[in-house]
Chains A and B, each alone.
Chain A
Amino acid sequence: MLRWLIGGGREPQGLAEKSPLQTIGEEQTQNPYTELLVLKAHHDIVRFLVQLDDYRFASAGDDGIVVVWNAQTGEKLLELNGHTQKITAIITLPSLEACEEKNQLILTASADRTVIISLNPEPSEIAMVTKGPVWDCDTGRQVQKVSCFQSTVKCLAVLRRLDVWLSGGNDLCMWNRKLDLLCKTSHLSDTGISALIEIPKNCVVAAVGKELIIFRLVAPTEGSLGWDILEVKRLLDHQDNILSLVNVNDLSFVTGSHVGELIIWDILDWTVQACEHNFWDPSPQLDTQQEIKLCQKPNDVSIHHFTWDEENIFVAVGRGLYVYNLQMKRVIACQKTAHDSSVLHVAKLPNRQLISCSEDGSVRIWELREKQQLAAEPVPTGFFNMWGFGRVNKQASHPVKKQQENAILFSLELIGDLIGHSSSVEMFLYFEDHGLVTCSADHLIILWKNGERESGLRSLKLFQKLEENGDLYLAV
């Protein structure tokens, strides 16, 4: 299946030799992205992309500006200035159904210790917004700014049900839509809250260092006067800093740590459902010993990001990609070196495709395929660690699962890669209709499109215009 350098005279890339990185040649018949558009507006690393609606998205990064784009045309719609330092979190605050204003709000937190809530009007309404507490004359938008933070806000979460939002820094604050501080916890830790998710029963889970802290939010009732945040439980199962935290379905949420521990928690009683922590098993080749020193970075097994669907969790572990099946409670497919360096973001597409982006500047498209039984390989995750790395002792405490009996049924096949960024690709967004948006440390955003579909759309547009101009004559 590997298409090793199909291009005849192509000089082999040095990277291809030193690691068993799967590469794909220049012939990628299944790669639909044959058109790209480079979007330039940022002056520094672009770290965040957030989808606003069917065709718009916002980008934010270290230059402190937020730019709203049209995903279809690549047009820059708005530029929101307000932060003086880099943006650390961005989230959209959906409009309330009851509220007449349909405008979305964008919440941005920055290293300048402020949170700005900016109104993101429909393009048609940009001119109509005329009042607001804070006025941004540049773009004609209401901007509200909160700056009473003691520390940088590292994460934001919106609880739609309660119509409040939370900001996590060294402490956890709860706000309402009008930017009133409803409640605040005491100082939690100096490292601060790195991730925050909502779980049922008015609870939130915050990842603070190695710990997971569960808070219960108490809404005002007849009895009590105001909002309150109660710390309910601390979960200490992780050995290292928790990097990622998501709730994958109604039953469970998942955390991933710096040393490659993946723990699936029950969402209701906060107990460990399953644990997978030996992703970092190096490849079986013995001659990789030297390479490990050279290119395996400490965070090589850190779990940066998850994505999930009904059956599987797709985990970005170091440079590799793993598919963990929730039913079977084991890894069913993997690519140990999916990229040249850390995978930063993964996403599952509806068509069994998986997209990953990495620090190496590339975006790869994978397909989860059922593997032929004969071609089945032993699962590397089942291998016992042979080298005495520092983490072995942690590892040893867990019983190694015997999974060999079930041959792997799936494999991740590389079906295409997108090369455009010259630096680490931080994140991407997938639009069903408009393709893929990637943002990178090279200050660029690239819009990848399906060339054939775009061509058809342009053709349609052309005939529409012809018709408008009255130049279209249809033969009878």
Chain B
Amino acid sequence: MISAPDVVAFTKEDEYEEEPYNEPALPEEYSVPLFPFASQGANPWSKLSGAKFSRDFILISEFSEQVGPQPLLTIPNDTKVFGTFDLNYFSLRIMSVDYQASFVGHPPGSAYPKLNFVEDSKVVLGDSKEGAFAYVHHLTLYDLEARGFVRPFCMAYISADQHKIMQQFQELSAEFSKASECLKTGNRKAFAGELEKKLKDLDYTRTVLHMETEIQKKANDKGFYSSQAIEKANELASVEKSIIEHQDLLKQIRSYPRRKSKGSDLCSRETEYTQDRPSQAATTSDPEESADTDRYTCRPAYTPKLIKAKSTKCFDKKLKTLEELCDTDYFTQTLAQLSHIERMFRGDLCYLLTSQIDRALLKQQHVTNFLFEDFAEADDRAVVRQESAPAEPSQDRPPSRSLEKCPIPQVLISMGSYRSSVESVLIKMEQELGDEEYKEVEGTESGSFDPQDNLDCLDMDMKGSISSGESIEVLGTEKATSVLSKSDSLGSLTVPLSPQVVRSKAVSHRTISEDSIEVLSTCPSEALIPDDFKASYPSAINEEESYADDGKGAIHFQVGTSPPEPGEAEEGSVENTPLQTDASCCIGKETGGPQGPLSSPALTLSDEEGVVSTPPQRSRQKDQGFHVDFAMENSNLSSRDHSSEGFPAYELDPSHLLASQDDSKTSLDDYSDSTSCVSSVASTSSDRMPSSAHPTGPSSERHKKRAGQNALKFIRQYPFAHPAIYSLLSGRTLVVLGEEEAMVRKLVTALSIFVPNYGCCAKPVKHWVSSPLHISDFQKWKLIGLQRAVSPAGTGALHALSRYSRYTSVLDLDRKTLRCPLYRGTLVPRLADRRTHIRRGSTYYMHVQSVLAQLCAKAFLYTFCHHLHLPTRGREAEAAAASRQASFLQLSLGLVNEDVKVVQYLAELLRLHYTQEHPGAIQPTLRFDYVPSFLYKI
């Protein structure tokens, strides 16, 4: 119990107090073991090496009254995903911790069976032997034929990374609640329908029995009842009773508390996903009511059956399947939601967290974020957030408090938690340690994140439980979180180093015995938990919650993976749909694309690069977390020799670190890179509706990655990339002229990452035009792909281009020339360094984003500095303000030469955006300068 956490606590304090460079080597007994799978060639980020499944998946299980716990389905529904993982065994595990008070039946003092509308329970389970950790969402569905009318189900998000589960608990909980609500709503509908049928049956039976009794009465008028008649009368009585019972049940199910019918909101949202179905759930605000109304109208054809007196026992018959238990529409929606969840949480935890933080920070930049951010995503997030607000009451804080949730602590905390996640895994594995390698890493230690280490109280907890071998731990549940977070959140959020948090380390450990099931707390049915149990770990819970609340900052960030493609809902399987939607022309290629490299080449690569061999040491792991990209780049460098185009899928995306991304999809991306057919397909679709909103494609990771890759190529290939990018950044339309459509489109897509947006609508990019350009085109588009044609129309186009040469820069792809104004600034070289060491598209994309974010910050400062634009005292000459502006731009913002124009252009866009009442309503004016252009050649 004590050993492991203590070691860590010690090492941590050590690190906290001392400079990392001066730190003496630890005594051997305290040294932390190496990553155990290093010998097998796995990389340290791949925690899957311990698990038997290849990536995260969702499992739906049932505690069947006939056969016990059994798995029903997995999402994605692909045996490759869970591999040899024993679903049956795991179902047993997760179904054995159902804490909900799903008491249905005859409660004492009640004449009729009573339905309890129980809340779902949400627990986190760990099975360290299987290497599987799960967020488990228990729910109860009603089934008339089931014992007590209830069928316990659970949906589990299973991951090999326990920290992912813990840190994403709130998000998982929110998302699964939606799915569960949807499922339950559908189930109630189905149940009510079933009850009605049953009532009709009973009614019919009663009539029949009644008639029979009458006949019997008439038949024997002897004055006494035969045993047969008595039996009939009893039967009739029981039918009567049954009718009353069932009516009561029907009444209960219909009187399902309205407050809980937020499921209908969900369903309306989910119909957005499913798209193919204009669901009635979306239109009817209350599914129950609609069910009530159409029940009698829609199903008049039901012919009642006679019900036998002795009802069949449940063991004799087949139980309803999950699909039968639920209304079909709702069932497909639930599946869609589940696959959405699967996609949402796909990838490495650090990746998820980073993107969440990223988005949360971006959201705060609401004044500037429209410039370069992807708005399809942002909108998606906005929608999600709106919905999540009611679901998470604890988030509804008064504005004043939300001010305190400044972004910095969130970031720090999340960093810390990521670090810790690596750490705990290490401790779990008792292997030998390569000391010299450890020192190597020490040299690279930056030490700048030390303070956050103190926030790892949860971590201790993990360590305590890890040692217990075959155990299932319930590590956290929802309700306690929400209750306690309120008390502790502020302290821990704003003061990352508060003593309270540091102290917490000591108390947050628990012993977990072999094969024990431990429950910290459960959500609604607290009554089930013994009081002494609740009392026994108050501080542990407390701290845990304060921690969880730190993570809860991250709850605001909704993971916005690209919105699901249409048609996905029907598929129910995530695996297939991306391929179908993406690659209408690449499918042939995709089949040839190796699915294998995930395992073999990637592993060897990382071996030879020594990425893995850097020992994951104590607090150093956080460095690794940050160096992931660069390390991977290095490996790319070496791998470029033998495969320049087709990198193993494994390396190409940070989100692949866990290899839980869809392999086939990745390989598709990379292998299609050389032909660029995907991008052209995507952009064609976007082109059809010139000013319409983003198609789903461009916002995806894949798209960004490809754009980044092509932009990198462009920068390397063309020495005059800088003035071209300057043109884009300063709002001068860049016309990419070429004969070959695919090439032009590819380059336009790549360069579009540098184009500032006007507003929330699509980027002002036109991928392909063949008609002559007009002045209004330059007002509307900032990047245009133009066809060079020999036809008269083509010469017309060229003539128009030369006529409007002052508004455009022209990049001629065929002649490899660029005509545009001179650029002498320093900004673009940083953005687009020809000799950059960045090799990967996604990395470069991120690099661009970060430089542009900096730029936006400068533009923001410039725009909103009062004294720069308004006369400071009384009447002041305009020249004074102008000189103030110039000196601010040059001295304070460090801009030279043409960089000033970039910031000024962005500032214009900011002003326009800010002052517009209806964003996007007014087109921005076309701004231009009368500056000479130069012709650049390779």
Asked if B926 and A8 sit within 8 Å, CB to CB, the answer is: no
25 intermolecular pairs with C-beta atoms under 8 Å apart:
A7-B934, A9-B933, A9-B935, A11-B802, A26-B805, A26-B931, A34-B927, A34-B930, A36-B779, A36-B926, A38-B776, A38-B779, A74-B922, A419-B803, A419-B806, A422-B774, A454-B925, A456-B869, A459-B863, A459-B911, A460-B869, A461-B915, A462-B869, A462-B915, A466-B864
State A34–B928 Cα separation when bound (angstroms): 5
One of B870, B931, B933 near A463 (C-beta < 8 A): B870
- When distances are taken between beta carbons in the complex, the residues of chain A under 8 Å from B912 are 458
- When distances are taken between beta carbons in the complex, the residues of chain B under 8 Å from A37 are 779, 923, 925-926
Asked if B819 and A10 sit within 8 Å, CB to CB, the answer is: yes
State A10–B804 Cα separation when bound (angstroms): 12
Q: Which residues of B contact A (CB under 8 A)?
A: 774-776, 779, 800, 802-806, 817, 819, 863-864, 866, 869-870, 878, 904, 908, 911-912, 914-915, 922-923, 925-936
Q: What is the distance, in angstroms, from B818's C-beta to the closest C-beta of chain A? A: 9
The count of chain A contact residues (Cβ–Cβ below 8 Å) is 45
State A463–B871 Cα separation when bound (angstroms): 12
A140 in contact (CB, < 8 A): no
Asked if A26 and B930 sit within 8 Å, CB to CB, the answer is: yes
A397 in contact (CB, < 8 A): no
- When distances are taken between beta carbons in the complex, the residues of chain A under 8 Å from B774 are 422, 442
Asked if B869 and A7 sit within 8 Å, CB to CB, the answer is: no
- When distances are taken between beta carbons in the complex, the residues of chain B under 8 Å from A73 are 922
Known: A35-B927, A455-B908, A458-B911. A446 touches B933 (CB 8 A): no
State A459–B776 Cα separation when bound (angstroms): 25
Asked if A10 and B933 sit within 8 Å, CB to CB, the answer is: yes
Binary contact readout A444-476 vs B (1 if CB under 8 angstroms, 0 otherwise): 101001010011101111110110000010100
* Chain B residue at smallest Cβ distance from A472: B866
* Chain B residue at smallest Cβ distance from A420: B775
Known: A10-B819, A456-B869, A462-B914. A36 touches B775 (CB 8 A): yes
State A7–B820 Cα separation when bound (angstroms): 9
Known: A7-B934, A35-B925, A35-B926. A422 touches B800 (CB 8 A): yes
Q: What is the distance, in angstroms, from B917's C-beta to the closest C-beta of chain A? A: 9
* CB interface residues, A 20-79, toward B, < 8 Å: 25-29, 31, 34-38, 40, 73-75
* Chain A residue at smallest Cβ distance from B869: A459
- When distances are taken between beta carbons in the complex, the residues of chain B under 8 Å from A454 are 925
Q: Which residues of A contact B (CB under 8 A)?
A: 6-11, 13, 25-29, 31, 34-38, 40, 73-75, 416, 419-422, 442, 444, 446, 449, 451, 454-456, 458-463, 465-466, 472, 474
* Chain A residue at smallest Cβ distance from B777: A38
Asked if A460 and B932 sit within 8 Å, CB to CB, the answer is: no
How many A-B residue pairs have C-beta atoms within 8 angstroms? Tell me. 111
- When distances are taken between beta carbons in the complex, the residues of chain A under 8 Å from B928 are 34-36, 451
**Chain B CB within 10 A, most for which of A31, A36, A73, A459:** A459
State A465–B934 Cα separation when bound (angstroms): 41
Q: What is the distance, in angstroms, from A227's C-beta to the closest C-beta of chain B? A: 49
- When distances are taken between beta carbons in the complex, the residues of chain B under 8 Å from A27 are 930-932
Q: What is the distance, in angstroms, from B546's C-beta to the closest C-beta of chain A? A: 33
Q: What is the distance, in angstroms, from B171's C-beta to the closest C-beta of chain A? A: 32
- When distances are taken between beta carbons in the complex, the residues of chain A under 8 Å from B806 are 26, 419
One of B775, B863, B870 near A421 (C-beta < 8 A): B775
**Chain B CB within 10 A, most for which of A74, A449, A455, A472:** A455
State A247–B912 Cα separation when bound (angstroms): 44
- When distances are taken between beta carbons in the complex, the residues of chain A under 8 Å from B935 are 8-10
- When distances are taken between beta carbons in the complex, the residues of chain B under 8 Å from A461 are 911, 915
- When distances are taken between beta carbons in the complex, the residues of chain A under 8 Å from B869 are 456, 459-460, 462-463
What 4 additional pairs, Cβ within 8 angstroms, besides A10-B933, A422-B775, A455-B904? A36-B928, A419-B806, A456-B869, A456-B878
- When distances are taken between beta carbons in the complex, the residues of chain A under 8 Å from B908 are 455, 458
One of B776, B915, B933 near A7 (C-beta < 8 A): B933
- When distances are taken between beta carbons in the complex, the residues of chain B under 8 Å from A6 are 932
Asked if A462 and B775 sit within 8 Å, CB to CB, the answer is: no
- When distances are taken between beta carbons in the complex, the residues of chain B under 8 Å from A446 are 775
* Chain B residue at smallest Cβ distance from A24: B930
Asked if B805 and A10 sit within 8 Å, CB to CB, the answer is: yes
One of A7, A74, A75, A459 near B932 (C-beta < 8 A): A7
Asked if A34 and B775 sit within 8 Å, CB to CB, the answer is: no
Q: What is the distance, in angstroms, from B896's C-beta to the closest C-beta of chain A? A: 20
Closest 5 CB pairs of A and B: A9-B935, A28-B930, A459-B869, A7-B933, A38-B776
State A435–B904 Cα separation when bound (angstroms): 21
State A474–B873 Cα separation when bound (angstroms): 13
* Chain A residue at smallest Cβ distance from B868: A459
Q: What is the distance, in angstroms, from A311's C-beta to the closest C-beta of chain B? A: 30
State A10–B914 Cα separation when bound (angstroms): 38
State A416–B803 Cα separation when bound (angstroms): 15
Q: What is the distance, in angstroms, from A30's C-beta to the closest C-beta of chain B? A: 9
- When distances are taken between beta carbons in the complex, the residues of chain A under 8 Å from B929 are 34
State A461–B910 Cα separation when bound (angstroms): 12
- When distances are taken between beta carbons in the complex, the residues of chain B under 8 Å from A36 are 775, 779, 925-926, 928
* Chain A residue at smallest Cβ distance from B910: A462
State A7–B935 Cα separation when bound (angstroms): 8
